[in-house]
Amino acid sequence: MTINLKVWKQKNAKTSGNLETYKVDQVSPDMSFLEMFDVLNEKLVQENKEPIAFDHDCREGICGMCSMYINGQPHGPLEGVTTCQLHMRTFKDGDTIVVEPWRSAAFPVIKDLVVDRTAFDRIIASGGFVSVNTGNAQDANNLAIGKDKADMAFAAAACIGCGACVAACKNASAMLFVSAKVSQLALLPQGQPERESRALNMVAQMDAEGFGACTNTGACAAECPKEISLDNIARLNREFLGASISSQEA
């Protein structure tokens, strides 16, 4: 296969970037999208040109590092997969593919396709955790958790924090991410002690980072590689508004 690429090139956060055109020959349909970039980068290095910077780590679809906005969709056209799990057989020989970084005021571009997603880390640090009770592990099934609750919490916990929801949202809103992180703990007994402060603090941090508000368009859930449900956003709204009304802090 021959693939024509238009890739966003940007030196650093301070400079402005532009789309540059590349041609990649001898692309195997079995290559992943990232492997296609590896081939291109090796060629660029051999030609003494600067390779394209992009984020990647596990290449198994579970780390949430890869972050390419491919032909107008985060992680490309295939549903329920990350960029690393997107294979070139999804495209046709001779296709032109436009690759851009996540676009959000809260995710500044570091270089080319690499954006700074530490805003998510700061949101997690503001409340997306359970204060650990050290000591011996208690017996399994000591804590009774309904199967339905466990399943919902598990589905929310599937979020890998890649930021595709922010990239897809017309408002660059982080609501799907924050709602998944709040939900996975709000649904389980371990999350109860910090339930109210978690919702309040994580929403406050989300707003402080400069993400937009939710318009309930549903683009986030449609593009999420882990298919996190919009029900989580409704739950976050409940958790946040409920905590605002009932929490003891005046």
Partner 1 sequence: MSWLTKTLTSSIGKKLLMALTGLFLCTFLVVHLIGNLQLFKNDGGYAFNNYAVFMTTFPLIKVVSYVNYALILFHAFWGLYITYKNRQARPIGYAVVKNSSSVFSRNMAILGTILLVYLVVHMSDFWYRYHNEALPYVKYTEQIASGNIETTPMEIGYTQETKKVETFNEEAGTKTVIVKDLYNVVSFSFQNILLVLFYVLSMFAVAFHLFHGFQSAFQTLGWSHPKYTPLVKGLGVWVFAVLIPTGYAAMPLYFYFFK
* Contacting partner 1 within 18-47 (CB under 8 A): 19
Which residue in 212, 225, 226, 228 binds partner 1 (CB under 8 A)? 212
- Cβ at position 139, least distance to partner 1 in Å: 33
Instruction: Determine the Cα–Cα distance for residues 226 and 128; give it in Å rounded to an integer.
Output: 19
CB nearer to partner 1: give 105 or 143.
105
- Cβ at position 184, least distance to partner 1 in Å: 17
Find out whether 244 and 200 touch, Cβ atoms under 8 Å.
Answer: yes
Binding string to partner 1 for residues 168 to 207, with x set by CB under 8 A, is what?
Answer: x-xxxx-x---------------------------xx-xx
* Contacting partner 1 within 152-171 (CB under 8 A): 168, 170-171
Which residue in 29, 72, 189, 193 binds partner 1 (CB under 8 A)? 72
- Cβ at position 220, least distance to partner 1 in Å: 9
Three-state SS sequence of the chain: CCEEEEEEECCCCCCCCEEEEEEECCCCCCCEHHHHHHHHHHHHHHCCCCCCCCCCCCCCCCCCCCCCEECCEECCCCCCCCHHHCEHHHCCCCCEEEEECCCCCCCCEEECCEECCHHHHHHHHCCCCCCCCCCCCCCCCCCCCCHHHHHHHHHHHCCCCCCHHHHHCCCCECHHHHHHHHHHHHCCHHHCCCHHHHHHHHHHHHHHCCCECCCCCCHHHHHCCCCCCCHHHHHHHHHHHHHHHHCCCC
Find out whether 171 and 109 touch, Cβ atoms under 8 Å.
Answer: no
Size of the site for partner 1 (CB under 8 A): 52
Instruction: Determine the Cα–Cα distance for residues 34 and 42; give it in Å rounded to an integer.
Output: 12
Q: With contacts defined by CB under 8 A, name the span among 114-122, 132-140, 188-196, 213-221 that binds partner 1.
A: 213-221
Which residue in 41, 90, 190, 237 binds partner 1 (CB under 8 A)? 237
Binding string to partner 1 for residues 83 to 122, with x set by CB under 8 A, is what?
Answer: ---------------x-x--xxxx----------------
CB nearer to partner 1: give 72 or 143.
72
71 binds partner 1 (CB under 8 A): yes
In the complex, the residues that contact partner 1 under the rule CB under 8 A are 6, 19, 69, 71-73, 77, 98, 100, 103-106, 168, 170-173, 175, 203-204, 206-207, 210-219, 222-223, 230-231, 233-242, 244-245, 247, 249-250
